Structure 1
Amino acid sequence: MKTTKIVLGTLFSLCVTGTALADSYKNDSGYYAELGYTPLSLGDSTATVKPKLARFGVGKNVHENLAVEAMYATTVSKDTYQGADVTSSGYGLFLKPKMEIAKNTELFGRLGWFKTNLKVSASGLSAADSGSDFSYGLGVQTKLTDTLYGQVDYMNFYHKDGITSKALSFSIGARF
């Protein structure tokens, strides 16, 4: 719970800083940055763990209906399974098709590639594994100010060999 409060406090601080920075720009260059909270669900048919991740993204609008973005996620609150601590991280590249569905609100998809890393630690021993897969998602974002927006999205980061990694994320972004 303490980690969640730290993450939310950090998100708020970055939003305030990002707004001030973004408001200092007179023209929208098409670039944006996002910071999100991602409670990940990672597992197979026998077990699921739910570490909490911070997700960072940067992107560039290449057309009014398409952006290209890079994403990185890392654990901010580990989960425990049968006495072992579980953490996850990953990175990916995406195409982000989007369309306005109401004034200042966009529906978007993400299609791309994501590499997932998993680490399990117990009693001084640890094991790690990684894999990459086609990744996809769907979300909605709403403009809060000229430069600041809020976003909710669902992503399927990894689905291979019976293992899935997916999450509903909450993000705040700034255009600059």
Structure 2
Amino acid sequence: MRNVLFATAALTLIAAPAIAQSVSNPQWNGSLGYTHLDGDDGSLGAVTGRIGAKFTPYLGVEGEASIGVKDEDITIAGVDGKLEHDYDAALYGVASVPVSDNVELFGRLGYGTTSIKADVAGATASTDGESINYGAGANWYLDGKNGLRADWTRRDFQDDGGEIDTYGLSYVRRF
């Protein structure tokens, strides 16, 4: 038993500098792409940018922000209107699993805010929703730095605000 404890302590001392170096020297990445938002009230589209840091090959964080670019025509009580995605922003913890040198799968969990506006017969209403977000996806790197990202994320809005599923396709770059 004592030998197991000494071996564990020795491995911890050997691994500690490598872990500290990876945390102080993360691998950065960024992406830019299109996100389709699919909710009960309509389908919207947005341009989404992300910046992320991986502290180990398996754990990291990422932030994202989107601006709406595709609106939905709606009809309420026979009156035509428009549903618009203003913006959203979120922060995630990300867990990755490298499948090969060029492919990695990931899951993410985070918190975000979304702003959607409806304009019907000249009357405008805007709503902001806070959400718990979770999803999964994959990165496929064409070379060591450039690749494609596909992901799905569910936004579970607080206070019975419903859910929105998002589907994204992006260009991703490692720095």
TM-aligned CA distance change 1:103 to 1:142, over 3 Å = same
User: Residue 95 of structure 1 aligns with which residue?
Assistant: 93
Cα deviation code 1:8-51 (max 9, x no counterpart)? xxxxxxxxxxxxxxxxxxxx9611111121111122xxxx3001
Report deviation, 1:162. 5.4
Distance 1:29 1:115 in 2: 26
User: Residue 50 of structure 2 aligns with which residue?
Assistant: 57
Aligned length: 145
User: Residue 174 of structure 1 aligns with which residue?
Assistant: 173
Q: Map 1:98-113 to 2 at 5 A.
A: 98-113=96-111
Distance 2:33 2:107 in 1: 16
Q: Map 1:18-167 to 2 at 5 A.
A: 30-43=27-40, 48-82=41-75, 83-88=80-85, 89-160=87-158, 161=160, 163-167=162-166
| Structure label with greater radius of gyration | 2
Report deviation, 1:57. 0.6
Percent identity reads 23
Between the two structures, name the one with larger relative contact order (CA 8 Å, sep ≥ 6): 1
Structure-2-length-normalised TM-score = 0.77
Structure-1-length-normalised TM-score = 0.77
Note the residue ranges of structure 1 that are not aligned, 5 or more in a row: 1-27
